[in-house]
Amino acid sequence: MVSYEVQVKRHLEGVQRGSTRLVESYLAQTVHPGELAAKNEAGYINGVNRNVKKWARNVATKRSLQELKNRMQSKGGAAYTASAPTANAAYASGARPWRDIIAQIKADVDARMPRGDRAQNAQRSAEYIRLMNEAAVRMEGM
């Protein structure tokens, strides 16, 4: 089982990689987001939010595609990365209670249900899921 410290380190590294990917994906755009929103208005309304018309209008009238790319490159990635320590602390505090629960569930399943063929392993997985769900229900009640 991966240690809590390694889990938190991996989370922070993932957030930092996400910053780079966010900027890269934004710079790869070839069409203004306002144009895409206008072309797929129903999809945005149903899938993202109810304010797509307002968003598309505001974005389209305030900044060009190049301005949006420049801002993302100069500010967006840095802001995302700067938020990583806060996000990391929130992740760590949320993950901490689960560390011991997961270790206990794993030990319990390992003791009662040895690994085996595909059918046995499917039963182990189902039991693990059942116990995790029970733990989640208990955690919500706290």
Domain assignment present for residue 90? The answer is no
Q: Structural domain tally of the chain?
A: 2
Q: How many CB atoms lie within 10 A of CB 105?
A: 19
Residues 127 and 63 in one domain: no
Select from 79, 34, 31, 23 the least CA-distant residue to 60. 34
CA 96 to chain centre: 18
pLDDT of residue 112: 93
- Domain identity same for 59 and 124: no
Read off the pTM: 0.40
Please tell me the predicted confidence (pLDDT) of residue 64: 83
Q: For residue 32, what are the domain limits?
A: 1-82
For helices 4-27 and 84-112, what crossing angle results, to 10°? 130
- What is Dmax (Cα atoms) for the chain? 63
Tens of pLDDT along the chain (142 residues) come to 667 777 777 877 877 777 778 778 878 888 887 888 788 777 766 766 667 677 777 777 777 888 888 888 888 777 777 877 888 888 888 888 888 899 999 999 999 988 888 888 888 888 988 899 889 888 877 6
Q: Which pLDDT score, from 0 to 100, does residue 33 have?
A: 79
pLDDT given for residue 45 in this prediction = 65
Nearest-angstrom CA–CA distance, 119 and 49: 43
Cα 94 from Cα 86, distance rounded (Å): 12
Please say which residue of 56, 82, 108 terminates a domain.
82
pLDDT for position 104: 93
User: What pLDDT, on the 0 to 100 scale, is given for residue 131?
Assistant: 92
